[in-house]
Amino acid sequence: MSRITIQRSHDLDKKTLRKKADSLAKSLQKQYGGNVRWEGDTAHYSYSGGIDARLTLARDSILVDVKLGVLMLMVKRVIQREIERYLDEQIG
């Protein structure tokens, strides 16, 4: 199992941040399948093909923590670049 952990600071209000985080989670869902559910300020994304991710929202930061199964190791760099690109463009 491999892991991707990315944290970014932000100065967005809670509603805007949640909307952007939800968009990222749904983008993963659209691209790879799987399910997204919110639990408080944390979005949980899971895909039976080997992705288990959390997007945790805080007042001044967002933490993305992704666990990849063996089958997803081949696309780890692609997934990491996509998450980083999205966070850089949308979160700041």
Q: Based on the structure, what is the number of domains in the chain?
A: 1
CATH classification of the domain holding 20: 3.30.310.50
The structure's pTM equals 0.87
- Listed as ranges, residues in the chain with pLDDT below 70 are none
pLDDT attached to residue 5? 97
Domain encompassing residue 52:
2-90
For the beta sheet containing 2-9, the strands, ordered from the edge strand earlier in sequence to the opposite edge, are 2-9, 61-68, 51-57, 42-47, 35-39
